[in-house]
Structure 1
Amino acid sequence: MIELQDIKKGFGDKEILKGVSAVMESGKVNLIIGSSGSGKTVMMKCMVGLIEVDAGIIKYDGQNFSGMDNQQRKEIRQKIGMLFQGSALFDSMTVEQNVMFPLDMFGTGSYRDKKKRVAECLERVNLKDAAKKFPAEISGGMKKRVGIARAIVLNPKYLFCDEPNSGLDPQTSLLIDQLIKELTLEYNITTVINTHDMNTVMESGDHIVYMYQGQKQWEGTNKDIVFSNDQLLNDFIFASEFLREAKEMRQTELYSSGKWKEETKREAPGNGGEQKK
């Protein structure tokens, strides 16, 4: 797991993260959500060491990542997979070559072994027949799947995804969400996703951290959201009348099935929603 302990970060006179503590759990899809300027992107960049925290500690499976030197961090980073918002594929390389890139940079073994591993990953994301194509010859959804294959080719323990559904149609977005969730469970990965996509929140949110003005406002699961009394969270998630009606329908469904008791007790004291009802 990844643990954040009272992390703070500012740029000049502007304080971005104001003492955030949270745990990103292994084997789960952990979401960071919030409006623009809430601090979620800075928070993710701090977690992977692209930005240094001003105060606080970030731990990877109990190891103090914040206190490590570059060589020690390199060992952790080799266990990290990244899925970028724009896929970030090399246009001059084929799909197969793009996925092999991390193996050439950090992997060991023969070319034959590397090629076998690439084929396994492409088959896992349903792109076995696209290996020899170039990025310009495939769709946006396929590019995302190539990005996922590249992110998992080194068998990462941690997977970071920045807006994985950006620019995709709703149906393709659902397929990407499902694929990321399956891989998280299959390989027991600690997956962290920065997203604005409410389908991702409601379908894949095993663990959700809602950021508001640089602080953790609320923490829970996608089921907890349905019964949350946090007004800021509700205004963000259920912004439209359609979504508010969908929430009411879901509450009615859970009440009638008797599951509401199980769901409401999840929002334990200490969550932002419990403190700021």
Structure 2
Amino acid sequence: MIELQDITKSFGDKEILKGVSAVMESGKVNLIIGASGSGKTVMMKCIVGLMTINTGKILYDQEDFTAMEEKEKKLVRQKIGMLFQGSALFDSMTVEQNVMFPLDMFSRDTLRDKKKRVMECLERVQLKDAAKKFPAEISGGMKKRVGIARAIVLNPKYLFCDEPNSGLDPQTSLLIDKLIKELTVEYNITTVINTHDMNTVMESGDHIVYMYQGKKQWEGSNKDIVFSKDQKLNDFIFASEFLREAKEMRQLDLFKDGSWRDQLKKD
């Protein structure tokens, strides 16, 4: 679990994050959404320690990450997997070598054990046959899956994904969403995704934080979002007539679900 306690971040006179508090839960896909300039990218960079917050606290499993010495922070970072927007693979390395890179950096295992672990991860993302290929020889969707294999090779407790569906066709995007969701549940990972993809929001959003002008405007699940009365959120998520109609259809589907209807009455 990752907890943000009233964090702020400024660049000179410009305040980017304005007292944001949220909890990213383990075993769930936690999404950070919002328009460009809302602060979501800065928020993710602060969580992983690429940027230093001005005030507040960031807790990893109730340990104050912001107060740690650099040596302690390094130990936490070894538990973090990162999937970059452009996959960030090394062009001069094969798929196998790219996935092995974190093991070479942080593991003292034998080469044989490293290769075994790499093949386990490639098999999990259905890319075992591509191990000897170079990034230029595989598709964009395959590169994303290589990036996911590299991100999980060290058995991370925390997985951060920056726009994982960027540049992918809708069908491949669905496959990536499904894979990330499966891995999150399977390994009980705290997954945090920064995304603009509304399909990811509606299909994978176990927990969603909507950022608006540096503040947490709304928080809830993908089911909550369908019934939300927050106008700013609705204007952002259901911007087109098609999406507004899709929202109405989803509301009807969910309302037919007796257990969800009972929960709605409690809320």
Bin of the TM-score, shorter chain as denominator length: over 0.9
What is residue 57 of structure 1 aligned with on the other side?
A: 57
Q: Check conservation: 1:218, 1:233, Cα contact below 8 A.
A: yes
Distance 1:256 1:123, change over 3 A: closer
In structure 2, C-alpha distance between the alignment counterparts of 1:175 and 1:57, rounded to whole Å: 35
What is residue 45 of structure 1 aligned with on the other side?
A: 45
2:255 equivalent to 1:255: yes
1:232-243 equivalence runs, <5 A: 232-243=232-243
Once the two structures are TM-superposed, the CA of residue 108 in structure 1 deviates from its matched residue by 1.7
1:95-106 equivalence runs, <5 A: 95-106=95-106
What is residue 128 of structure 2 aligned with on the other side?
A: 128
In structure 2, C-alpha distance between the alignment counterparts of 1:195 and 1:71, rounded to whole Å: 31
In structure 2, C-alpha distance between the alignment counterparts of 1:242 and 1:173, rounded to whole Å: 20
In structure 1, C-alpha distance between the alignment counterparts of 2:98 and 2:8, rounded to whole Å: 36
What is residue 274 of structure 1 aligned with on the other side?
A: none
In structure 2, C-alpha distance between the alignment counterparts of 1:124 and 1:52, rounded to whole Å: 35
Q: Check conservation: 1:224, 1:266, Cα contact below 8 A.
A: no
Distance 1:223 1:266, change over 3 A: farther
Gap runs ≥5 in structure 1: 268-277
What is residue 67 of structure 1 aligned with on the other side?
A: 67
In structure 2, C-alpha distance between the alignment counterparts of 1:205 and 1:261, rounded to whole Å: 19
Once the two structures are TM-superposed, the CA of residue 191 in structure 1 deviates from its matched residue by 0.2
1:160-171 equivalence runs, <5 A: 160-171=160-171
Q: Check conservation: 1:125, 1:149, Cα contact below 8 A.
A: yes
In structure 1, C-alpha distance between the alignment counterparts of 2:266 and 2:121, rounded to whole Å: 36
2:137 equivalent to 1:137: yes
* Amino acid in the other structure paired with 1:24: M
In structure 1, C-alpha distance between the alignment counterparts of 2:260 and 2:115, rounded to whole Å: 50
In structure 2, C-alpha distance between the alignment counterparts of 1:250 and 1:223, rounded to whole Å: 9
TM-score by length of 1: 0.94
What is residue 226 of structure 2 aligned with on the other side?
A: 226
In structure 2, C-alpha distance between the alignment counterparts of 1:140 and 1:262, rounded to whole Å: 43
Question: What SS does the corresponding residue of 2:154 show, helix, strand or coil?
Answer: coil
1:200-258 Cα shifts (integer Å, max 9, x gaps): 00000000000000000000000001100000011111011000001111112333444
* Amino acid in the other structure paired with 1:126: Q
CA RMSD for the aligned pairs?
Answer: 1.1
Aligned pairs, number = 267
Gap runs ≥5 in structure 2: none
In structure 2, C-alpha distance between the alignment counterparts of 1:63 and 1:137, rounded to whole Å: 43
Question: What SS does the corresponding residue of 2:182 show, helix, strand or coil?
Answer: helix
Distance 1:10 1:265, change over 3 A: farther
In structure 1, C-alpha distance between the alignment counterparts of 2:45 and 2:88, rounded to whole Å: 17
In structure 2, C-alpha distance between the alignment counterparts of 1:51 and 1:99, rounded to whole Å: 26
Once the two structures are TM-superposed, the CA of residue 3 in structure 1 deviates from its matched residue by 0.3
TM-score by length of 2: 0.98
Distance 1:142 1:234, change over 3 A: same
